Structure 1
């Protein structure tokens, strides 16, 4: 089968190759992949910036497809079912935090950027009927991360004023849609005016260009501050987030793409009793609740661009440029 694997010996960092899957396990299903979606972790793997890298591993964490074969312990009724995959496994017994052996498909184990994928049967869920193949493929990793960040970690309320930073990325676009669906007043920031306009079109109440040195003053003047912030950058932006958080507000981080901060406004943090909360994807309960919520509220992922498998390098390059608004999808089969 055709697949996209990590190969750091090549200038591109990835290789389009043919692989043979191992014999299907008794508790596994084989899925013919229809569409797969990229996440930043796929590009970080390509750049050698992710932990526990192994050349030859199929990249990708998100996919939709059709079950074509099941192991002997799996209900045969799954055959021909349209499904999406929960890419995380081995969360552990503590719902508050993942265990040490928690894993995500695509590194260090084979992922979804291939014509076929084999996973344990408890990792599959029926595809929401209102989503097409591309939209369904865009949902899993970003959807569950945003859902847990907002509802479990952020404890969002309809009365909240919410700031979603870095609008345009996969998790951020889900954060916006989920937050809007609760009735909360949602704001965004981005370095792109085009992305800000896209967010306003979804129903956001305002947007701020974080390259504007006075964006925090404008945000405070316009909103009075935020009850809840979702952020994946951290770095030297942390103090700005603390500045625009209301007393007793919550800041949920699901990444640190700008690295660790060299310092932060600790006095404002403790005096205003601001909560800073970490978030990594979600457990199986979060994933199931996310799917139910998406189905009930007919939430549809934003798709930036769709590429063919043969043009997958172009998809990775677009992810690297950071110009996308929504998810970048690779269509594996028609």
Structure 2
């Protein structure tokens, strides 16, 4: 089979012929119809991820055929019995085990779920990691309710855009931020009530004026802007963070949290139960993940270049059939 192999930091992936995986008891062979990239894959290629192993086939998201069944792959592995926190054996598909940037993949049989019937292959492949992360952030950690005012930062990336779609479907009043006016316009065309360009100095004041303050904020950036999120959070609000692309939060004042009774919590991925709940939610509301662009497996490095540039709106797909 063809596979995109990561062998060395800061080097292109190598399109390689590998032996077809051999199924065994409890292990299922999936012929992949599509895979999707995540920021995690890019971080691994840049050495910005713990416990990197090489050579490895990257990719956490995928959908395909197993014995004629149309399936979507849950990238969670070994979460464990505690819904609050994964076990010490927890891993995500695509390192240390080979991932989905290949024509075929071997996974545990309990990682396979029926593909939602309303999704095409590209949409199905785009859903697992972003959908699970967004679902847990919004509903399990964020406690999202209908008509609440929600802010989602960095719309355009997979998790943020998926969270926006989920929140709109749940009946929330959703606002977004982006460094691209074009992305803001697209988000509002999809149901966001408003947005702000975080490159503008007074972006947070603009959002506060529009919303009156937020009940829930979903953030992946951290950094200096996190203090502005605290300022525009309403009394009793929740701030859920699932990333830290902008690094440390400077001059953090505890008083800004406890006077307004704000809850700040972290989240990452989710349980198998949440994965199934997410699939049911997507089916109930007939949500279609947004696809930015699809590349053939032979052009996987071009796909990574687009991911690095952060110009995408939606998920970047790898399609072995192209």
Asked if Structure 1 and Structure 2 have the same fold, meaning a TM-score greater than 0.5 normalized by the shorter chain, the answer is yes
Misfit runs of 4+, over 3 Å: none
Equivalent in 160, 163, 167 of residue 179 of structure 1: 167
Unaligned runs of 5+ residues in structure 1 are 68-78
1:259 Cα deviation from its structure 2 partner = 1.6
The corresponding residue for 1:49 is 48
The answer to whether the Cα contact below 8 Å between 2:157 and 2:312 also exists between their aligned partners in 1 is yes
The corresponding residue for 2:139 is 151
1:326 Cα deviation from its structure 2 partner = 0.5
The corresponding residue for 1:73 is none
The corresponding residue for 2:200 is 212
Deviations 1:176-214 (A, max 9, x none): 011001111000000000000000000111010011110
1:6 Cα deviation from its structure 2 partner = 1.2
Say whether residues 1:3 and 2:20 are aligned partners: no
The answer to whether the Cα contact below 8 Å between 1:33 and 1:333 also exists between their aligned partners in 2 is no
- Distance in 1, Cα, partners of 2:87 & 2:20: 28
Equivalent in 118, 126, 142 of residue 138 of structure 1: 126
Unaligned runs of 5+ residues in structure 2 are none
DSSP-derived class of the 1:94 partner: coil
The answer to whether the Cα contact below 8 Å between 1:144 and 1:287 also exists between their aligned partners in 2 is yes
DSSP-derived class of the 1:176 partner: helix
Equivalent in 111, 114, 137 of residue 126 of structure 1: 114
Deviations 1:217-248 (A, max 9, x none): 11111111100010111121210110110010
Q: How big is the alpha-carbon RMSD for the aligned residues of Structure 1 and Structure 2? A: 1.1
The answer to whether the Cα contact below 8 Å between 2:12 and 2:301 also exists between their aligned partners in 1 is no
The corresponding residue for 1:66 is 65
DSSP-derived class of the 1:112 partner: coil
DSSP-derived class of the 1:328 partner: strand
Say whether residues 1:112 and 2:100 are aligned partners: yes
1:107 Cα deviation from its structure 2 partner = 1.1
| Worse-superposed segment, 16-25 or 320-329 | 16-25
The corresponding residue for 1:321 is 309
Say whether residues 1:82 and 2:70 are aligned partners: yes
Deviations 1:26-53 (A, max 9, x none): 1111010000000000011111111111
- Distance in 1, Cα, partners of 2:255 & 2:138: 26
TM-score between the two structures when normalised by the length of structure 1? 0.94
The answer to whether the Cα contact below 8 Å between 1:235 and 1:259 also exists between their aligned partners in 2 is yes
| Worse-superposed segment, 93-102 or 182-191 | 93-102
Say whether residues 1:102 and 2:90 are aligned partners: yes
The answer to whether the Cα contact below 8 Å between 1:242 and 1:265 also exists between their aligned partners in 2 is no
DSSP-derived class of the 2:186 partner: helix
1:22 Cα deviation from its structure 2 partner = 4.5
- Distance in 1, Cα, partners of 2:258 & 2:213: 17
| Worse-superposed segment, 23-32 or 83-92 | 23-32
| Worse-superposed segment, 20-29 or 36-45 | 20-29
The corresponding residue for 2:26 is 27
Deviations 1:111-132 (A, max 9, x none): 0100000101100000001000
TM-score between the two structures when normalised by the length of structure 2? 0.98
Q: Taking structure 1 as reference, are residues 20 and 104 closer, same or farther at Cα in structure 2, changes over 3 Å only?
A: same
| Worse-superposed segment, 262-271 or 218-227 | 262-271
| Worse-superposed segment, 23-32 or 312-321 | 23-32
- Distance in 2, Cα, partners of 1:51 & 1:263: 27
Equivalent in 223, 238, 246 of residue 250 of structure 1: 238
- Distance in 2, Cα, partners of 1:201 & 1:110: 38
- Distance in 2, Cα, partners of 1:146 & 1:327: 14
- Distance in 1, Cα, partners of 2:213 & 2:254: 18
The answer to whether the Cα contact below 8 Å between 1:89 and 1:102 also exists between their aligned partners in 2 is yes
DSSP-derived class of the 1:151 partner: helix
Say whether residues 1:310 and 2:298 are aligned partners: yes
1:333 Cα deviation from its structure 2 partner = 2.3
- Distance in 2, Cα, partners of 1:263 & 1:60: 37
1:21 Cα deviation from its structure 2 partner = 4.3
